[in-house]
């Protein structure tokens, strides 16, 4: 083994533990390869890392232990109840410790999330990797060290006893985006990996997706999705940002056929090698969609960019963003975005909510400039209703524009609020949508009703903008569905 490498510092008693019956100590895991995963809820890069680690855990089930060390820049994520929701939403199947004070990050010299520390069977540190995309490197190292430990008769099968706290069963599970219309409501039932169509009385009329994770085209429930999110309705076609599959899907509402129209299922970078062949292009966590004048606009959260797909000529291109996380204003090519998760269009104006910078951005398609309306930097967030220059948000996830009232509604997700940006007064205020809002992730406006995906509460709410009345949209899914 790596005898000259330092012994990994053990875990302090001050950590709060989730997903396990008992606090975990590294000294009790001798004989196993251990990965410490340093992550933050809400980060798309960390979500990608979870998927890689779960793959490795399944592959090396007997001799690999993974321990999540969670800390976040957002106050909301330091609440233990919020972290539990994130664990359930992300399907994390290993112990997680809440490191609110970032003690472990300092102890291990971690300055960038996500990051992993690899520990051998004798408890010594054998590697550190920061950022995402290290599945192959980790796979190779784990295999090598397991084989070496096996030759030296050092392997053991220690197990950590897990204790999950699952969500209560219901029609919806972590619904994210939604889309309201004259006769139907469409809901991305993300936790169930499906898209629902309901009538205005809450009866589920059709289901798209089997409920199992996958990237499979087909008819109705024969198809499969992976955490579907943003929706756009164009005639008889419903477009879906299939975030977990890094793809854009199209549902023919007449035939119920589901077809992949962009993305090859693999995580991509900030380039497009084949613009005329969108299904050959690797996307990166598309989070939301909006449509205008023959163009489908895509909030590409994992690439910190806004993309567009011309539906007539099937041409995929990058509209804005330099691909580096940031909050720089300027030309479309040089502007920096920070995990765009929501997008809405009003004529030549495209409104974008940047989750990681807690900002609302304005993209002019005529002047080809990007301007920050609310937001002061990657490290600045808060809950301040005021003029735009002083206003603060916390990890917003969705926007929708009200042309009649000249307002932009914002899902201020980590503040558990819905807010209205007034373009006449250049100010923002919180709306009264009742108690119990928990990480709202989706908004849709139709005929004086604002529809809200109350994500962590697994429900949909509706706000009547004429009367200010709020009610829960009760769903009924027939048993034969």
Domain containing residue 307: CATH number: 2.120.10.30
Boundary of a domain, candidates 132, 151, 170: 151
Boundary of a domain, candidates 151, 186, 221: 151
Phi and psi angles of residue 243, each rounded to the nearest 5 degrees, phi first: -55, -50
Look up residue 476 and give its DSSP letter.
Answer: B
The single residue listed with the structure tokens 């041409």 is 315
Phi and psi angles of residue 247, each rounded to the nearest 5 degrees, phi first: -150, 160
Question: Smallest Cα–Cα separation from 453: which of 396, 411, 401?
Answer: 411
Tens of pLDDT, residues 83-113? 999 999 999 999 999 998 899 999 999 988 9
Domain that holds residue 51: 16-151
Q: Please state, in angstroms and rounded to a whole number, the distance separating the CA atoms of residues 91 and 74.
A: 21
Boundary of a domain, candidates 151, 169, 203: 151
- Positions of the chain with pLDDT lower than 50, given as ranges: none
Does 385 map to a domain?
A: yes
* Both structure tokens of 400: 């929708």
Q: Do residues 332 and 242 share a domain?
A: yes
Does 425 map to a domain?
A: yes
pLDDT at residue number 160: 86
**For residues 375 and 327, is the Cβ–Cβ distance under 8 A?**
yes
pLDDT at residue number 256: 98
Detail the DSSP E strand segments found in 89-189: 96-98, 115-119, 125-130, 178-180, 184-189
Does 127 map to a domain?
A: yes
Q: Please state, in angstroms and rounded to a whole number, the distance separating the CA atoms of residues 350 and 362.
A: 6
pLDDT at residue number 3: 64
**For residues 315 and 275, is the Cβ–Cβ distance under 8 A?**
yes
Question: Smallest Cα–Cα separation from 174: which of 198, 190, 195, 196?
Answer: 190
Does 291 map to a domain?
A: yes
| Helix ranges restricted to H, 28-152 | 44-59, 80-89, 103-107, 135-151
Q: Do residues 459 and 314 share a domain?
A: yes
Does 208 map to a domain?
A: yes
Q: Give me the CATH number covering residue 146.
A: 3.40.30.10
Look up residue 433 and give its DSSP letter.
Answer: -
Q: Do residues 204 and 274 share a domain?
A: yes
Q: Do residues 211 and 339 share a domain?
A: yes
Q: Do residues 107 and 182 share a domain?
A: no
Q: Do residues 102 and 185 share a domain?
A: no
Q: Do residues 197 and 285 share a domain?
A: yes
pLDDT at residue number 271: 75
Question: Smallest Cα–Cα separation from 225: which of 260, 255, 256?
Answer: 260
> How many domains does the chain fold into?
2
Q: Do residues 406 and 269 share a domain?
A: yes
Does 8 map to a domain?
A: no
Handedness of CA 201, 207, 212, 213 (dihedral sign): negative
Does 441 map to a domain?
A: yes
**Cα–Cα distances in angstroms (integers) from residue 2 to residues 92, 168, 339, in the given order:** 30, 46, 39
Q: Please state, in angstroms and rounded to a whole number, the distance separating the CA atoms of residues 398 and 87.
A: 21
Q: Is 49 helix (H, G, I), strand (E, B) or coil?
A: helix
**For residues 230 and 299, is the Cβ–Cβ distance under 8 A?**
yes
pLDDT at residue number 318: 96
Distance of CA 312 to the CA centre of its chain: 29
Q: Please state, in angstroms and rounded to a whole number, the distance separating the CA atoms of residues 309 and 288.
A: 13
Q: Is 349 helix (H, G, I), strand (E, B) or coil?
A: strand
Q: Do residues 281 and 146 share a domain?
A: no
Question: Smallest Cα–Cα separation from 318: which of 288, 297, 349?
Answer: 297
Q: Do residues 113 and 221 share a domain?
A: no
Pairing of strands 340-346, 295-300: unpaired
Does 31 map to a domain?
A: yes
H/E element, 340: strand 340-346
Q: Please state, in angstroms and rounded to a whole number, the distance separating the CA atoms of residues 92 and 368.
A: 41
Q: Do residues 419 and 299 share a domain?
A: yes
Q: Do residues 258 and 115 share a domain?
A: no
* Both structure tokens of 134: 């290290």
Residues sharing a CB contact under 8 Å with residue 247, sequence separation 6 or more, in sequence order: 215, 260, 262, 263, 264, 265, 283, 286
């Amino acid at each position: 083994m790596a005898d000259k490498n330092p012994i990994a510092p053990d875990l302090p008693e001050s950590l709060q533990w989730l997903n396990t019956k008992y606090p975990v100590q590294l000294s009790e895991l001798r004989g196993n390869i251990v990965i410490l995963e340093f992550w933050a809820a809400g980060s798309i890069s960390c979500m990608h890392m979870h998927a890689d680690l779960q793959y490795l855990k399944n592959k090396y089930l007997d001799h690999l232990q993974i321990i999540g060390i969670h800390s976040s820049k957002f106050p909301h994520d330091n609440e233990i109840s919020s972290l539990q929701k994130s664990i359930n939403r992300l399907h994390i199947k290993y112990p997680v410790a809440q490191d609110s004070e970032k003690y472990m990050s300092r102890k291990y010299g971690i300055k960038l999330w996500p990051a992993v520390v690899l520990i051998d069977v004798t408890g010594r540190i054998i590697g550190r990797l920061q950022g995402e995309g290290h599945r192959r490197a980790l796979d190779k190292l784990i295999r090598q060290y397991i084989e070496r430990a096996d030759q030296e008769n050092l392997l053991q099968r220690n197990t950590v006893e897990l204790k999950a706290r699952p969500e209560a069963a219901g029609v919806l599970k972590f619904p994210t985006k939604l889309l309201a219309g004259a006769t139907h409501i469409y809901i991305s039932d993300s936790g169930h990996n499906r898209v629902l169509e309901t009538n205005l009385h809450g009866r589920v009329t059709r289901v798209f997706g089997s409920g199992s994770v996958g990237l499979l085209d087909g008819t109705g429930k024969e198809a499969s999705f992976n955490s579907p999110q943003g929706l756009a309705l164009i005639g008889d076609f419903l477009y879906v940002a299939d975030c977990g599959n890094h793809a854009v899907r199209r549902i023919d509402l007449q035939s119920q056929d589901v077809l992949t129209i962009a993305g090859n299922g693999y995580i991509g970078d900030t380039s497009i090698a084949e613009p005329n062949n969108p299904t050959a292009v690797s996307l990166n966590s598309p989070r939301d969609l909006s449509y205008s004048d023959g163009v489908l606009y895509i909030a590409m959260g994992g690439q910190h960019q806004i993309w567009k797909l011309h539906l007539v000529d099937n041409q995929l291109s990058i509209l804005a963003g330099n691909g580096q996380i940031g909050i720089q204003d300027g030309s479309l090519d040089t502007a920096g975005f920070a995990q765009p998760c929501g997008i809405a269009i009003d004529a030549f104006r495209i409104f974008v909510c940047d989750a990681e910078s807690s900002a609302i951005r304005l993209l002019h398609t005529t002047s080809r400039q990007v301007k920050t309306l609310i937001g002061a930097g990657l490290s600045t967030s808060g809950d301040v209703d005021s003029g735009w220059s002083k206003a603060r948000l916390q990890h917003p996830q969705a926007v929708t524009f009200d042309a009649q009232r000249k307002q932009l509604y914002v899902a201020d997700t980590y503040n558990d609020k819905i807010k209205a940006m007034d373009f006449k007064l250049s100010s923002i205020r919180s709306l009264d949508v009742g108690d119990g809002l928990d990480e709202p992730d989706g908004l849709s406006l139709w005929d004086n009703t604002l529809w809200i995906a109350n994500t962590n509460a697994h429900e949909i709410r509706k706000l009547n903008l004429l009367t200010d009345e709020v009610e829960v949209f009760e769903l009924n899914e027939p048993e034969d569905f």
